Amino acid sequence: MLVLNGPNLGRLGLREPAVYGSTTHAELAEDLRELGSSLGLEVEVRQTDAEHEMLAWLHDAADDGVPVVLNPAAWSHTSVALRDACAMLTAPLVEVHLSNIHAREAFRHHSHVSAVATGVVAGLGPGGYRAALRWLAEATGTTPA
């Protein structure tokens, strides 16, 4: 399955550590690949600052029936195109935010993606991605519920 991270998340560890923590994107990716293999999942982690690239990854995931964990980052709040691409997915989609977007500025409270996601996790830091992978392992039958 895919873990897809949107804009500015490649700068985790440097970026506003009081909000997003000190874990780098490389460390997050390694942690999720390791957890995935313990759950019997092959996890690929990608990050992009280019919206067209994210849309292409989602189109391919839709065509291939691949489950997705997505942190849409700032595009959550701005992009109808991203929402429309997510709506085409054929396997479960879990939206993850490191921070609790509902406890932050008003412009972060609404995510265009949430209405087409299977579920949403916010505010648990990197643990939110781990929760999403554990749930997907159950939902896709690689581990018992």
- Annotated catalytic sites, by residue? 20, 97
Please report how close the Cβ of residue 8 comes to ligand DQA at its closest, in angstroms.
5
Q: If binding is defined by CB under 6 A, does position 71 make contact with ligand DQA?
A: yes
Q: Give the range of 30-38, 55-63, 72-80, 134-142 binding ligand DQA by CB under 6 A.
A: 72-80
Dihedral, CA of residue 75, residue 17, residue 137 and residue 114, to nearest 10 = -30
Q: What are phi and psi for residue 22, nearest 5 degrees?
A: -105, -5
- By C-beta, is 7 or 140 nearer to ligand DQA? 7
Q: If binding is defined by CB under 6 A, does position 74 make contact with ligand DQA?
A: yes
The pairing of strands 93-97 and 68-71 is parallel
Which is it for the CA torsion 46, 50, 56, 62, positive or negative? positive
Provide the binding-site residues for ligand DQA, judged by CB under 6 A: 8, 71, 73-74, 76, 97-99, 101, 108
